Amino acid sequence: MTETRSAATGADVERVAFVTGGSKGIGAATCIALAAGGHRVGVGYVTDDVGAAATVAAIIDAGGRAHAIRCDIADTDSVDAAFTALTDALGPVTVLVNNGGITVDGLVMRMKDDAWDSVLRTNLTGAFHTIRRATPAMMKARFGRIVNVSSSSGQTGMPGQANYAAAKAGLVGLTRSVARELASRGITANVVAPGPIETAMTADLADDWKARAAAQVPLGRFGTPAEVAAVIAFLCSESAAYVTGAIVPVDGGLAMGH
């Protein structure tokens, strides 16, 4: 995909960010928010060429700089190739947002091994793959921001999503271990845990289901991708230098107390 560039403004230091799952929803909103803060942004995606192109176009139209990068985070060769391509296009990655993920829902007693393995490999092991690949450049720069996008279900559990909830809970242990390992190099690692968010996926759900789901949220509504992206962008900023190993819920109070 052709990259167009212009001067980014508004950041303390212009850095290169890589956002997996950046073609739509929370990921696309995060790409746009990071670009608005002055970052050069790699828009990671697997198959959604149209969505990735739209995210890149939105950033360019706003005066930023972005590049679409195809990356299957479950595959180490794909991750390595994506980081190499992004470094060549924009520079070394020092801001990483692991937002990419999949769902293969089903009750535990009927869940096939493939459903368990594929969700864990993408949603948890995929984050390990990208963090491992990003760490050398961050250590060299003595600066890094890692944000892993979990879910309120990682703290509360969710019927029919044992694989998904387990992977999202596992991100907490991964993140806090990384936070402790890399803190001396000026690298932070944090978790953002969204609750129910208005996305293309939830838009297709029945109105009565959405009403019941919203009623469980103390604030009484679904969140928006932009609301999640704003928190992620803060954790990626210079201002968040003293925040690491944290779980930041963006869930309208749904999982408070967990």
For residue range 194-236, what is the model confidence (pLDDT) as tens digits? Answer: 999 998 777 777 888 889 889 999 999 999 999 999 999 999 9
- Cα atoms in the Cβ-side hemisphere of radius 13 Å centred on 204: 2
Neighbour order of strands in the sheet with 93-98: 66-70, 40-45, 16-19, 93-98, 144-149, 187-194, 247-250
Q: Which of 35, 105, 94, 97 is nearest to 71 (CA)?
A: 97
Is-contact 10 38, C-beta < 8 A?
Answer: yes
Categorize the per-residue pLDDT at 13 as very low, low, confident or very high, splitting at 50, 70 and 90.
Answer: low
Whole-number average pLDDT of the chain: 93
Which pLDDT tens digit goes with each residue over 126-138? 999 999 999 999 9
Q: Reduced to 3 states, what is the DSSP secondary structure of residue 35?
A: helix
pTM over cut 0.85:
yes
Q: Reduced to 3 states, what is the DSSP secondary structure of residue 105?
A: coil
pLDDT for residue 37 is more than 50: yes
Unique residue bearing structure tokens 């190993």: 245
Average pLDDT over residues 42-63: 97
Q: Which of 7, 56, 8, 15 is nearest to 32 (CA)?
A: 56
Determine whether 242 is an active site residue. Answer: no
Which residue in the list 83, 128, 164, 222 is annotated as catalytic? Answer: 164
What tokens appear for 71 in the block?
Answer: 């990356």
Residues 6+ apart with CB under 8 A from 140: 92
Is-contact 11 36, C-beta < 8 A?
Answer: no
